[in-house]
Amino acid sequence: MSADTTSWGSGTENQASKLIEKSKKSPFVPIGMAGFAAIVGYGLYKLRTRGNTKMSVHLIHTRVAAQTCVVGAMTLGVMYSIYKEYVVKPSEANLPK
């Protein structure tokens, strides 16, 4: 009962190489992930000095800020792919050969 790795690819790729390959295709994904992690880290750091603010309100504000970062990165990624597909490619097709 050995596992057949041929159906899953060469088996030489690890998670880091897959992440690097996907980040080359869409560079805004790691930016969104890093922004999300930074905002959540900052929110946890500021949790101690939130003053009279309720815990639930602080957590909601942190969640909204993190979601804004991710949605913004996704929007920039879509705009970048539209730019590559519809602005750069048509001008490459008009070049003389």
In a domain, residue 19? The reply is no
In a domain, residue 3? The reply is no
**Rounded distance between C-alpha atoms, residue 47 and residue 62, angstroms:** 10
For 21-38, what is each residue's pLDDT tens digit? 878 877 888 888 889 899
- Where does 1-97 have alpha helices with state H? 15-25, 28-46, 55-83, 89-93
In a domain, residue 61? The reply is yes
**Rounded distance between C-alpha atoms, residue 67 and residue 74, angstroms:** 10
Q: Are residues 35 and 68 in contact, defined by beta-carbon separation less than 8 angstroms?
A: no
pLDDT band at residue 96 using 50, 70 and 90 as cut-offs: low
Instruction: Show the domain range for 40.
Output: 27-93
In a domain, residue 13? The reply is no
Chain centre distance of CA 86:
23
How many domains does one find in the chain?
A: 1
pTM of the model: 0.64
